[in-house]
Structures are given as structure tokens and as C-alpha cells.
């Protein structure tokens, strides 16, 4: 077996277009999309290793356009904040970087321009990105491989949709020792000499001239990029992780890592996070509690999206939930709100309003409140299907970490019982787990949280 055969036999690699690299090709192209970082990136590492084997340079191609479903100015501005870090980290590894504007963003055209010998990409289990990869595989004339760069255990090894953490946990734990290892970050032996023409300058606004949804403004207190992601990780590991098992469910205490936007955009990888937590100076119970979230729960969400094509709709529900909803189809809701009332946080529930406002004003909602938020949308919508659609739309529109497997799995858990079990039967909810203002407020100081958001809203309006 030659070196290239060994590289593509890695379980993280999917060979989408087979064949030998173009011997007359000038470079290896890494098509960067989901894993937007120049360090700790298994897809980039593979591209560098292939290039070193073939004695060719590597160039990263990054292009974005205003057509990504539900994306708006808030999301693109955070993405843009990570570009300087990508450029700097790639330069240190001798890798070229080409940033293209929407009008000139075609990967196939770029590969022809630079005479690619082969193309490496990163995987994304969401519906539209997977279609883009399939299209490239059909049209490209050189080998095209993709890498599962944003999970620890390759998703393909799980083979099927898992129905709960208890079913996926043994399989992930069995494979962790093999895959939870430091990423190599190899250096390109043949450095990229110069970018081809038409590459945007680093400071140029790649959103210029776009017809883009600008109704959701960027967040000034969130800074995108790998450097800020690492600072956030180190602050969490150094100051918060010891108390994580208790404080993570107390929104006023801000005991969570707040890494989800950086993981969503690929500004940091799960390997980096998990390894830092493993070696943290903190109680074992605290480290295990967080590793359960970053490995088991996160990869359960990715598994759900990869193997269930209905991940963002009511159709993903389990048979027991379907039967339970059918039995309660005629139940009358005590309160109904329109989509606009929900979006504007105009309900009778001060805790729900505060959670919605936190999402609108900050681009992030506390993890514990996301469950309550979605369940109340179920309770206050005219049907389960409408509730599901509303939750997905609001989550994707306002959350920096929206349009992500974790968000879709969370909504499915809250509204249709995905990854959960049947509970006591009650009106409207059936056997879906119920949460109330009273029960939720007993878990943490809801009054303090509401006051914090009220204060934030006043400051934001000044």
C-alpha cells in the first residue's frame, strides 16, 4: 500500500471522486468550509500530508455567498472575524490562502485556474452543504476527498442513527482512545509562492454588494476567530470548569463555556477543546461532566443530522411521540401567540421573554433555557408542526450557533422527544417531557436572570 492509499484509508476520509492525482497539476487545493481554522484541522492536515507526498504546494480556497439558508449579517460578520486568524496560521505553515468574493466563488473554476492535482474538503452533514459536495464530486476531474474534521470519532463508524446518549456512548467510548489524540499540524514542505489574481485582500469586506438579510445586526461583544476561541477555552478551563456541574444550569452565573459559536464556525475543533479539558486542573467529576457534552452529546447531535434526513422538521419524531401527539391532537391550547409575538418576546411569561431577548440581543441563549424556550413554543403554537418550524426559524435567525446539528437536536429533544423517553401524560404535550415556569425557576435564580436581561435591554436601547 502506497502512502496515498494509507492516507485515504483513514476512517475520517471519504473518497468522493477516486483516481490518481493529476501528475501535471500544480498544487493541492483544500476547500475550506465547515472547519474554518488553520490549526488543529484534520482536513487541512490531510491536504498538507498529500501535498508533501506529491512534492506540491497547498492552497486553501475559502469563498462564501449570501445564499446559505437562514444566514444573515450577524452570522457572516462573525465568520469574517475569523479570516485574519486563518490567514496568519496558514502562512506559518507555508500554506496559501485565497479568499474569494461571491461573484467569483466557484470552486471548480478555481481548481482549473490553479491547475489542482486533487482537492481535499471537509464534511458537513447538513442537507445543503452535502448537496454542494455531491455536485463537486460529479463535476470535478481530479480526485476529491472529504474529511470528518469537526467530530472526534468519525461519524461513518457509527453506521446508523442512535436513539439516545445511552446507545451511542459505549461506541464512542470504545473508539475515543484511537481518535482523541493531538492534531499534528504538519508544515508544507513546498510553500505556496503567491496567490493567484482576484483574491480578496484581508481587510476587504467580502460581503460588499451582497443582497443580504441585514435585519439582524452583528454582535459587538462576540469576536470570531481561532485566537478568541482559544482565549475563551483557556478562560473556561482555568476559571469555570471546576464548578461546571453546578453552575452550567444557573443562567445568572454564566457557568457554561460559550464555545458553541466557535465550534459551529469551525474556529476551534472538538479535539482541541476535549484535550484541554482532559488535562485541566479540576475535579474529575467536573471534567467528565463537560466531556459528556463536548463528545457524547455533541456527536449524538451530529449523528442525528447525518442519518436522519428529517432533522429540521416534525417528521424526525419517534413512533411513541407520534402516537402520543395523535391522542392529543384535539387538545385546546390555553394561550396562543403569533410568530411575531414570539419573535418580539411579547408573551405573559417573563422568563421566556428574557430568554428570547437574550438570544436577540446577544446572539446566544443559555443552554438550560434553550430547553424551556422550545417547550413553551410547543405549548403556545397552534400545532406541533408550526411549533417546530417556529423554533427552527428563530434559532437559526438569531443564534450565532444556529443552523447547526446541536441546535436541531436540541429542538427535536424539546418538542418531539428525540433522544428522550416517554413521560407522564398531560394535555397538549402528551408524553413529551414538560417544563414549567415554576419548576424551572426552582432550579436557578430566575428573578436575577430576568433582571440581568432587562438591564441589558435598557443598555442596548441607549
pLDDT in tens, 319-354: 999 999 999 999 999 999 999 999 999 999 999 999
Residue 329 shares a structural domain with residue 456: yes
Give the pLDDT confidence score for residue 213 in this predicted structure. 84
Q: How many CA atoms lie within 13 A of 67 on its CB side?
A: 10
d(CA 173, CA 154): 13
Query: Which residue range(s) make up the domain with 269?
Result: 226-307
Same domain, 32 and 142: yes
**According to the model, what pLDDT value does residue 211 have?**
78
Indicate whether 69 and 127 sit together in one domain. Answer: yes
Judge if 39 and 120 occupy the same domain: yes
- Say whether both 341 and 455 belong to one domain: yes
For the chain, what percent of residues have pLDDT higher than 90? 85
Give the domain-ending residue among 110, 128, 149.
149
Cα 107 to Cα 119: distance, rounded to the nearest angstrom: 10
- What local confidence, expressed as pLDDT, does residue 191 receive? 94
- Determine contact, residues 221/91, Cβ cutoff 8 Å: no
272 shares its domain with 326: no
Same domain, 367 and 454: yes
Question: What CATH code is carried by the domain that includes residue 323?
Answer: 1.10.579.10
Q: How far is CA 81 from CA 127, 199, 228, 265, 297, in A?
A: 25, 17, 10, 11, 28
DSSP assignment, residue 243?
A: G
pLDDT of 125 strictly over 80: yes
Give the CATH number for residue 26.
Answer: 3.40.50.620
Among 291, 296, 284, which Cα is nearest to 170's? Answer: 296
Does the residue 173 lie in any domain? Answer: no
Final residue before a domain boundary, out of 287, 307, 327: 307
Q: Residue 183 domain-assigned? A: no
Pairing state of beta strands 144-147 and 13-17? antiparallel
Which CATH number fits the domain that encloses residue 241? 1.25.40.80
Q: Are 12 and 145 contained in the same domain? A: yes
Does the residue 203 lie in any domain? no
Q: Are 192 and 51 in contact (CB under 8 A)?
A: no
* Helix, strand, coil abundance in the chain, percent, nearest 5: 50, 5, 40
The pLDDT of residue 7 is above 90:
no
pLDDT digits (tens, 9 = 90+) for 202-246: 545 667 667 788 899 998 889 999 999 999 999 999 999 999 999
Segment 98-119, tens digit of pLDDT? 988 766 678 999 999 999 999 9
Distance from C-alpha of 222 to C-alpha of 232, rounded to nearest angstrom: 11
- Amino acid 104: pLDDT: 62
> Within a domain: residue 24?
yes
- Whole-structure pTM value: 0.95
291 and 409 inside one domain: no
Residue 312: pLDDT band (50, 70, 90) is very high
DSSP conformation letters of 308-372: -TTTTSGGG--HHHHHHHHHTTTPPPS----HHHHHTT-SS-HHHHHHHHHHHHHS---HHHHHH
Enumerate the β-bridge partners of residue 100: 63
Tell me whether residue 379 is in a domain: yes
Q: What mean pLDDT do residues 139-158 have?
A: 96
- 177-208 tens-digit pLDDT: 999 999 899 999 999 986 655 565 554 566 76
Domain's final residue, options 249, 272, 307: 307
pLDDT tens digits, 251-274: 987 889 999 999 999 999 999 999
| 2 confidence band (pLDDT: 50, 70, 90) | confident
Both 92 and 59 in a single domain?
A: yes
Helix (H) or strand (E) holding 17: strand 13-17
Q: What is the pLDDT at residue 415?
A: 98
388 DSSP 8-state letter: H
Query: 51 with 137, same domain?
Result: yes
Question: What's the alpha-carbon Rg for the chain, to the nearest Å?
Answer: 23
Q: What is the pLDDT of residue 206?
A: 67
Residue 171: inside a domain, yes or no? no
**Judgement on whether residues 300 and 369 belong to the same structural domain of the protein:** no
Residue 319: inside a domain: yes
- Three-state SS annotation for 126-166: CHHHHHHHHHHHHHCCCCEEEECCCCCCCHHHHCCCCCCHH
Q: Kindly report, residue by residue over 276-303, the tens digit of the pLDDT.
A: 999 999 999 999 999 999 999 999 999 9
User: Number of structural domains, the chain?
Assistant: 3
Residue 205 lies in a domain: no
pLDDT of residue 204: 52
Provide the pLDDT for residue 210.
75
Separation in Å, CA 414 to CA 143, 348, 373, 386, 391:
42, 20, 9, 14, 10
Amino acid at each position: 500500500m502506497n502512502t496515498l492509499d494509507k492516507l485515504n484509508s483513514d476512517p475520517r476520509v471519504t473518497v468522493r471522486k477516486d483516481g490518481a492525482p493529476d501528475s501535471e497539476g500544480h498544487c493541492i487545493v483544500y476547500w475550506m468550509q465547515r472547519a474554518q481554522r488553520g490549526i488543529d484541522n484534520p482536513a487541512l492536515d490531510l491536504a498538507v500530508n498529500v501535498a508533501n507526498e506529491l512534492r506540491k504546494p497547498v492552497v486553501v480556497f475559502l469563498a462564501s455567498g449570501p445564499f446559505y439558508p437562514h444566514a444573515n449579517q450577524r452570522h457572516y460578520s462573525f465568520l469574517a472575524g475569523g479570516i485574519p486568524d486563518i490567514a496568519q496560521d496558514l502562512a506559518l505553515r507555508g500554506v496559501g490562502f485565497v479568499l474569494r468574493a461571491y461573484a467569483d466563488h466557484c470552486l471548480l473554476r478555481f481548481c482549473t485556474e490553479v491547475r489542482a492535482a486533487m482537492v481535499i474538503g471537509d464534511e458537513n452533514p447538513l442537507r445543503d452543504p452535502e448537496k454542494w459536495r455531491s455536485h463537486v464530486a460529479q463535476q470535478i476531474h481530479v480526485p476529491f476527498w472529504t474529511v470528518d474534521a469537526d467530530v472526534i470519532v468519525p461519524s461513518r463508524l457509527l453506521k446508523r442513527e442512535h436513539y439516545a446518549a445511552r446507545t451511542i456512548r459505549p461506541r464512542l467510548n470504545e473508539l475515543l482512545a484511537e481518535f482523541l489524540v493531538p492534531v499534528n499540524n504538519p508544515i508544507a514542505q513546498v510553500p505556496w509562492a503567491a496567490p493567484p489574481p482576484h483574491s480578496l485582500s484581508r481587510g476587504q469586506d467580502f460581503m460588499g454588494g451582497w443582497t443580504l438579510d441585514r435585519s439582524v445586526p452583528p454582535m459587538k461583544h462576540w469576536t470570531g476567530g481561532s485566537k478568541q476561541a482559544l482565549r475563551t477555552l483557556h478562560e473556561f478551563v482555568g476559571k469555570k470548569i471546576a464548578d461546571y456541574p453546578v453552575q452550567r444550569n444557573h443562567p445568572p452565573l454564566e457557568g457554561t463555556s460559550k464555545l458553541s459559536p466557535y465550534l459551529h464556525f469551525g474556529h476551534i475543533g472538538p479535539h482541541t477543546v476535549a484535550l484541554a479539558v482532559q488535562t485541566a486542573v479540576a475535579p474529575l467529576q467536573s471534567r467528565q461532566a463537560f466531556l459528556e457534552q463536548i463528545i457524547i452529546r455533541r456527536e449524538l447531535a451530529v449523528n442525528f443530522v447525518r442519518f436522519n434526513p428529517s432533522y429540521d422538521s416534525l417528521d424526525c419524531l419517534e413512533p411513541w411521540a407520534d402516537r402520543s401527539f395523535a391522542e392529543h391532537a384535539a387538545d385546546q391550547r390555553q394561550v396562543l401567540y403569533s410568530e411575531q409575538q414570539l419573535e418580539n418576546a411579547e408573551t405573559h411569561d417573563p422568563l421566556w421573554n428574557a430568554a428570547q431577548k437574550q438570544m436577540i440581543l446577544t446572539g446566544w441563549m443559555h443552554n438550560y433555557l434553550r430547553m424551556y424556550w422550545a417547550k413553551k413554543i410547543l405549548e403556545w403554537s397552534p400545532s406541533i408542526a408550526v411549533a417546530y418550524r417556529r423554533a427552527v426559524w428563530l434559532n437559526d435567525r438569531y443564534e450565532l450557533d444556529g443552523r447547526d446539528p446541536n441546535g436541531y437536536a436540541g429542538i427535536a429533544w424539546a418538542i418531539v422527544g428525540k433522544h428522550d423517553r416517554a413521560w407522564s401524560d398531560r394535555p397538549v404535550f402528551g408524553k413529551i417531557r414538560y417544563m414549567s415556569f415554576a419548576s424551572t425557576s426552582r432550579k436557578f435564580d430566575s428573578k436575577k436572570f430576568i433582571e440581568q436581561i432587562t438591564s441589558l435591554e435598557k443598555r442596548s436601547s441607549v
